[in-house]
Amino acid sequence: MLVVIAHLNAKPESRDLLANALAKAAAASRGDAGCLSYVFTSDLENPNHFISVETWTDQASLDAHFTMPHLAELFTVAGDALDGAPDITTYETDGPKG
Decide if pLDDT at 95 tops 70.
no
Please tell me the distance from the alpha carbon of residue 73 to that of residue 63, in angstroms, as a whole number.
16
pLDDT tens sequence across 3-58: 999 999 999 999 999 999 999 999 999 999 999 999 999 999 999 999 999 999 99
What is the side-by-side strand order in the sheet with 2-9? 35-42, 49-56, 2-9, 87-92
The Cα–Cα gap between 1 and 74 comes to: 24
> What's the pTM?
0.88
Q: Has residue 73 got a pLDDT over 80?
A: yes
Q: How far apart are CA 2 and CA 55, in angstroms?
A: 6
What pLDDT, on a 0 to 100 scale, did the predictor assign at position 96?
64
Q: Where are the domains of the chain?
A: 2-92
Q: Is the pLDDT of residue 97 over 80?
A: no
What local confidence, expressed as pLDDT, does residue 87 receive?
A: 96
**pLDDT of 98 above 60:** no
The third-level CATH classification (topology) of the domain covering 2-92 is Alpha-Beta Plaits (3.30.70)
